[in-house]
Structure 1
Amino acid sequence: MSDGEHLYTATIRWARAGGDFLGAAYDRGHTWTFDGGITVPASSSPLVVPLPWSRADAVDPEEAFVAAIASCHMLVFLSIAAKKRYLIETYEDVARGVMTPNEHGRLWVSRVVLDPSIAWAGQRRPDPATIAAMHHLTHRECFIANSVRTEIVVAGVDDTPPH
């Protein structure tokens, strides 16, 4: 790897466990193992592949995509707040991804709406305009937001964030 490059790895494992594979009646359950050693149960979304061939109790790629965007946004926002000396007590985001057909009729996650609820602490508290500016800066600095073409918006702050 060259300077400035960072490598991230995930190992995806699936094994056929009965069912009619050739008839598309097989279990989509699998695992994701990350470089830190944690293993997460994963599956296709029951909204895409019906039960029992999907697992409702596992993470699906679409919700992981939404979580990655929301998590990156939160981590950058926390960093910006700390640098600006604003104390955050809690940050909770109920992020929502919307999947729609593209111009070729193929489904894609076209929009992710972040809806963070932030509890501020301490003497210094940002006003709404400052919070909005912090979200815009966060969007510009987020590695994941810079990696996708999905529209990412922060509820109550903007409908078309700058890129």
Structure 2
Amino acid sequence: MVAKTHRYEVGVTWTGNSGTGTSGYREYERAHEVSGLGKPVIAGTADPAFRGVAERWNPEELLVASLSQCHMLWFLGLCAQEGVVVTDYVDRPSGTMVETADGGGHFTEVVLRPQVRIAESEHIERTRKIHERAHELCFIANSVNFEVRCEPDVSAADA
């Protein structure tokens, strides 16, 4: 099989110039916009711990969301292929990032906690195995250098 290559292009525009640019660490806002052709703009900022504002998305949150979205999309597709009917899916993932002495940092883990409801209880164990397969296939999880764990909670409508 020939490998397919995909490109993703977005725009990131800093909107936080308060009039004096980056004349001092406290003199500018971390506000920015993430955009893509024909898509709604995402209002971004830094984590509030780094002078951002809580009302905007920060890169760390978006990384955690990307891992959750990728897993969910693989999972739903695999369930459809396997004949498992999913009727509800909610995830409340969390990520842990550690700052280093030099001011940098890195994620040490992300934990996905999908709560999944399926139509038939006879598929509960199979659904757990599909979660494992979705995790193995997730493009984003395969691209990061930290642990991504999945702790699914599966229930059935007919139980």
Task: Tell which deviates more after alignment, 104-113 or 85-94.
Answer: 104-113
Q: What SS does structure 1 have at the residue aligned with 2:117?
A: strand
- 2:24 pairs with 1:23: yes
CA contact (8 A) 1:86 1:125 kept: no
- Counterpart in 2 of 1:127? 124
Q: Which amino acid aligns with 1:17?
A: S
Q: Which has the higher helix share?
A: 2
- Counterpart in 2 of 1:92? 90
Q: What SS does structure 2 have at the residue aligned with 1:138?
A: helix
Using the alignment, how far apart are the partners of 1:102 and 1:17 within structure 2? 29
Q: Which amino acid aligns with 2:12?
A: I
- Counterpart in 1 of 2:47? 45
TM-score, scaled relative to structure 1 = 0.82
Task: Tell which deviates more after alignment, 136-145 or 19-28.
Answer: 19-28
RMSD across aligned C-alpha pairs, in angstroms? Answer: 2.4
Q: What SS does structure 2 have at the residue aligned with 1:126?
A: helix
CA contact (8 A) 2:109 2:147 kept: yes
Structure 2 unaligned residues grouped into runs of 5+: 154-159
Sequence identity, in percent?
29
Structure 1 unaligned residues grouped into runs of 5+: 158-163
CA contact (8 A) 1:19 1:27 kept: no
Aligned residues: 150
- Counterpart in 2 of 1:78? 76
After TM superposition, list the pairs within 5 Å mapping 1:111-122 onto structure 2: 111-121=109-119
- Counterpart in 2 of 1:107? 105
Using the alignment, how far apart are the partners of 1:60 and 1:41 within structure 2? 9
Q: Which amino acid aligns with 1:85?
A: G
Q: Which amino acid aligns with 2:30?
A: R
Q: Which runs of 4+ in 1 moved over 6 A?
A: 102-105
Using the alignment, how far apart are the partners of 1:90 and 1:152 within structure 2? 22
Using the alignment, how far apart are the partners of 2:3 and 2:149 within structure 1? 32
> Taking structure 1 as reference, are residues 156 and 33 closer, same or farther at Cα in structure 2, changes over 3 Å only?
closer
